[in-house]
Chain A
């Protein structure tokens, strides 16, 4: 009885474990390095954009207030006002949310709660494929289908408009919203559903009174991600926005959101002009940061 365990102990004692410990600490350092790379990239990008973008306001004597609220963007005349673009970005994003969120949410609910397996097997991959389409193709689609449609149907001189941007962005945010919201809804315990139905609630009542509220924070996350996609989208927007430098007052106005301003002019800009484009980037970045923060707060409150 007593001799057997002693023999067993000898198995591990033959050689030193030094190498194992070294390998262990080495590999954990490697993993840490990989993890830090993304943080480093973030800091580099943000730092670079802020450094270049803040230069004209700190060293060049330009007013940040005029930059944000100025309505004229004429680099050749040294006028850098991005107010029209800010408004265009806000309108386009809100518009896309108004269309995209309900459609995305209803799709997610349908897929997770209502659709029979066979139907889901067709729709789910289709939605996911939608996410994989390169954004330039969305732009081409918008330019070839939506823009002419608006032009003919609404009798516009030019179909490239805020409305076209909204429609394209709404389609583009669908896969994000649908996939994330569907996962969140699917994660709601089946027992909630059963409890509600057993109390004589209808299926739709159960979905909206119990299942969706229980998935609230996940749905909020879906909306934030969709929002991020919409506000940051550039390529598709350039093609359908029209890119006019006016403050949009109607859905049919041609617009230039923040992203397209950078993409359109960065290629040839130099000096202050280039730095002002970086400053546009700061605004865009702050925008996303604020929205994320606000929605994170909302979803945190929802979780309580």
Chain B
């Protein structure tokens, strides 16, 4: 319990009583949790349990879907993100990496420079710096530095995903959301992305949705177990996996369902 107390002091994201509806169907039920700064928080649970939906409420990506209704509070840096209307500012502060690499059909350079350019940065020197720094940060600089101007879609899936991460950190966000970032990758690429996550948490608060429980155990500091739109258990990752308090959590992490 002392850990929980300590965590509240350094919470980056405070979620309280979050309910989300797709039309008439409720997808999240009274979700409350605090996500700690510069830690990796994993969201696990069976398909359709609401973990991706929850992740997407954090940068308001659900706004894009017709008929989504949300109530409750999500406070990031003392600002309720659903009360503020500046969704662009929110999304510059929160990077996101998707399930499948979704680089744009343009060059590697243009992909990474896309976010900064959208913020009005035009100076070539500044952009060059940002691109290099971001690609280095995503541990892919050496692999792509000689072909920055060629199409990003020529890279392998694993490389693309790391460029996606570079593209996200080019915005110098505080938080990075990852929605099953390795589900479309081979084991070696997955390993590289996981190593990268371990690096990134020194600077960023990371929230990762994963289907892979070993991955959650490997990369995360804290784990939240979602089931049917509710958080069943939220604790230090070790506890969730080796000493779960709830029977359902135990059934899930030991592979009895899901």
A217 to chain B, nearest CB (A): 11
The answer, yes or no, to whether B100 is at the interface (CB within 8 Å) is yes
Interface residues of B in 197-245 (CB under 8 A from A): none
Number of B residues with CB within 8 Å of any CB on chain A: 26
Rounded to whole angstroms, the CA-CA distance of A201 and B59 in the bound complex is 13
B30 to chain A, nearest CB (A): 26
Stretch at the interface among B6-14, B20-28, B32-40, B90-98: B90-98
B64 to chain A, nearest CB (A): 7
**Contact between A213 and B106 (Cβ–Cβ < 8 Å)?**
yes
Contacts of B100 in A (CB 8 A): 191
Counting chain B CB atoms within 10 Å of each CB, which of A194, A199, A201, A202 scores highest? A199
Contact of B95 among A189, A192, A198, A201 (CB under 8 A): A198
B97 to chain A, nearest CB (A): 9
Known: A194-B64, A214-B105. A209 touches B98 (CB 8 A): no
Interface residues of A in 176-209 (CB under 8 A from B): 189, 191-202, 205, 209
The answer, yes or no, to whether B147 is at the interface (CB within 8 Å) is no
Contact of B115 among A117, A200, A213 (CB under 8 A): A200
**Contact between B115 and A201 (Cβ–Cβ < 8 Å)?**
yes
**Contact between B59 and A198 (Cβ–Cβ < 8 Å)?**
yes
Contacts of B89 in A (CB 8 A): 200
The answer, yes or no, to whether A225 is at the interface (CB within 8 Å) is no
**Contact between A191 and B98 (Cβ–Cβ < 8 Å)?**
yes
The answer, yes or no, to whether B114 is at the interface (CB within 8 Å) is yes
Contacts of B95 in A (CB 8 A): 198-199
B169 to chain A, nearest CB (A): 11
Q: Which A-chain residue is minimally distant from B101 (CB atoms)?
A: A191
The answer, yes or no, to whether A210 is at the interface (CB within 8 Å) is yes
Rounded to whole angstroms, the CA-CA distance of A210 and B59 in the bound complex is 20
Rounded to whole angstroms, the CA-CA distance of A117 and B66 in the bound complex is 9
Rounded to whole angstroms, the CA-CA distance of A104 and B87 in the bound complex is 30
Known: A191-B102, A194-B98. A200 touches B92 (CB 8 A): yes
**Contact between B118 and A200 (Cβ–Cβ < 8 Å)?**
yes
B119 to chain A, nearest CB (A): 7
Contacts of A116 in B (CB 8 A): 66
Rounded to whole angstroms, the CA-CA distance of A6 and B79 in the bound complex is 75
The 4 A-B pairs at the shortest CB distance, nearest first, are namely A200-B92, A191-B102, A199-B115, A198-B96
Q: Write the residues of chain B forming the contact surface with A, with a CB cutoff of 8 angstroms.
A: 59, 61, 64, 66, 88-89, 91-92, 94-96, 98, 100, 102-106, 114-115, 118-119, 164, 167-168, 171
